[in-house]
């Protein structure tokens, strides 16, 4: 029997989970819900000692058919990752229904195992079984690992830029910073998503793009440096800091300089008609006038 898009998505999800040393399942019942919440609260500890998702809300989301998943370590059975999504509606989607992926968390000491990729590929497979054509979420444009995950490992389209999307937040990751966000738009049966799931999307080497104009660069001291105006270019680069989470803790003023510089660079590029097309091996955004499939 010939493979279908759903069976290929299932195979990719199961292979990613096996490589990461986890088993991923849809979360059912209060015990699973408590494990999901525990991972969220561990990832985003709150200064107010609140919880990221209250027990009654999570149980209601699970009961109503929203997506909640758990990644369990294959050796110990311990929960090491979780994801949560719920229905959204958009005129840009056939049938209007899509899945808004609100949260995804992996234990900090295990983030080099690509469990996050496995969680997202499970979510993609689940969405396809539910005939949901698009998954969307927001992500911090300054976090290199998230940009690389979304664009290279998942094959998302990066859409609009929202300055200070969530307003002030008091969790340990976002406290004291502006909550700017880019929108990831993942058409789950697209050619780019299928290529990424098969591991066939590759980040370009930045040195090979030296002729491309830089809208934002990094100087020798790790500071953002404004480059040229993007209005006349077909392809431009926007640099990112090495580790914005560490910079927030050690030098909040420098973190703010990066925040405002990246905001200005991406917004000016978007205003000029460019969009994120890929991310380099060094962790810079490549913005182009036409997004193409990048094997």
CB 148 within 8 A of CB 279: yes
Establish if 279 belongs to a structural domain: yes
Establish if 193 belongs to a structural domain: yes
Nearest CA-CA partner of 202 in 128, 124, 136, 281: 281
In a shared domain, residues 160 and 178? yes
Structural domain count, the chain: 2
Establish if 295 belongs to a structural domain: no
Intervals of the chain under pLDDT 70: 1, 47-50, 169-176, 210-211, 290-295
Strand order in the sheet with 285-288: 224-226, 213-218, 235-238, 285-288, 275-279
- Can you give the pLDDT at residue 174? 61
CB 155 within 8 A of CB 192: yes
**CATH code for position 32:** 3.40.630.30
CA of 141: how far to CAs of 11, 18, 240, 261, in Å? 30, 29, 8, 11
Tens digits of per-residue pLDDT, 271-285? Answer: 999 999 999 998 999
Look at residue 190 and give its three-state secondary structure.
coil
Establish if 84 belongs to a structural domain: yes
Pairing of strands 134-139, 97-106: parallel
User: Domain boundary at 133, 167, 197, which?
Assistant: 197
> Quick one: CA torsion of 34, 38, 40, 46, rounded to 10 degrees?
120
- Can you give the pLDDT at residue 295? 44
In a shared domain, residues 109 and 211? no
- Can you give the pLDDT at residue 177? 72
User: Domain boundary at 197, 230, 255, which?
Assistant: 197
In a shared domain, residues 88 and 33? yes
Q: Quote the domain boundaries for residue 126.
A: 5-197
In a shared domain, residues 259 and 120? no
User: Domain boundary at 197, 232, 250, which?
Assistant: 197
Give me the residues paired with residue 224 across strands: 218
Model confidence, pTM: 0.92
Establish if 294 belongs to a structural domain: no
């Amino acid at each position: 029997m010939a493979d279908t898009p759903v069976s290929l998505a299932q195979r990719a999800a199961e292979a990613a989970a096996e490589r990461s040393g986890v088993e991923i399942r849809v979360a059912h019942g209060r015990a699973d819900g408590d494990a999901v919440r525990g991972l969220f609260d561990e990832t985003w500890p709150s200064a107010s000692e609140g919880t990221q998702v209250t027990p009654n809300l999570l149980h209601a989301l699970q009961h109503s058919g929203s997506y909640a998943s758990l990644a369990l370590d294959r050796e110990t059975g311990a929960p090491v990752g979780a994801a949560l999504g719920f229905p959204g509606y958009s005129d840009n989607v056939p049938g209007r229904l899509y899945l808004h992926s609100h949260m995804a968390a992996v234990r900090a000491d295990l983030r080099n195992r690509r469990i996050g990729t496995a969680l997202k590929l499970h979510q993609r497979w689940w969405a396809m079984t539910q005939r949901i054509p698009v998954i969307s979420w927001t992500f911090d444009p300054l976090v290199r690992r998230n940009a690389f995950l979304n664009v290279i490992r998942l094959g998302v389209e990066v859409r609009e830029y929202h300055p200070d999307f969530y307003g002030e937040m008091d969790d340990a990751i976002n406290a004291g910073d502006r909550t700017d966000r880019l929108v990831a738009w993942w058409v789950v049966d697209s050619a780019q998503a299928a290529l990424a799931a098969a591991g066939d999307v590759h980040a370009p080497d930045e040195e090979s793009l030296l002729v491309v104009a830089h809208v934002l660069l990094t100087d020798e001291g790790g500071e953002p440096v404004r480059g040229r105006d993007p209005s006349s270019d077909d392809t431009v680069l926007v640099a990112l800091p090495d580790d914005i989470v560490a910079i927030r803790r050690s030098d909040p003023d420098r973190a703010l300089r990066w925040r405002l510089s990246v905001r200005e660079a991406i917004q000016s590029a978007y205003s000029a008609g460019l969009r994120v097309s890929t991310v380099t091996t060094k962790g810079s955004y490549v913005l182009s006038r036409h997004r193409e499939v990048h094997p």
